[in-house]
Amino acid sequence: MKLGLPAALLALGTAFPAYADEQPVALKPAPGHDIVENNCAACHSLDYLRTNADFLDRHGWRTEVNKMIKVFGAVISPSDAAAIIDYLAKNYGAGR
């Protein structure tokens, strides 16, 4: 189904108020915090980290970060990727 311009603008206009009351997700303060915020929040909510924390261990987080880079095209340097994986495993890893 293709929306006309007025319908598309209406749909877009009603989506913005949903974000107006949204509070930023506070990550745990630890080494790598800023790197995670700068890289991960560019594409998705940081809630993703908390919702996956119960079942992703270091290997799982490494797989997720590599997927973001290789499949979704996230531009993350190897050193930032290592810092992100370390931060997530230590602060949001299963069994921590």
Q: What is the pLDDT of residues 75-88, one digit of tens each?
A: 999 999 999 999 99
Nearest by Cα to 88 from 42, 45, 54: 54
pLDDT above 60 for 19? no
- pLDDT above 90 covers a percentage of the chain that reads 52
Tens digit of pLDDT for each residue in 20-63?
555 667 889 999 999 999 999 888 889 888 888 888 999 999 99
- The whole-angstrom separation of Cα 59 and Cα 71 is 17
The model's pTM is 0.73
Burial category of 39 from C-beta neighbours within 10 Å (exposed 0-12, middle 13-18, buried 19 and up):
buried
Q: What is the mean pLDDT of residues 68-95?
A: 95
Q: Is 33 helix (H, G, I), strand (E, B) or coil?
A: helix
Domain ranges of the chain: 25-92
> What are the residues whose beta carbons fall under 8 Å from the beta carbon of 61, sequence distance 6 or more?
84, 85, 88, 89, 92, 93
Q: Is 45 helix (H, G, I), strand (E, B) or coil?
A: coil
Q: Domain 25-92: which topology?
A: Cytochrome Bc1 Complex; Chain D, domain 2 (1.10.760)
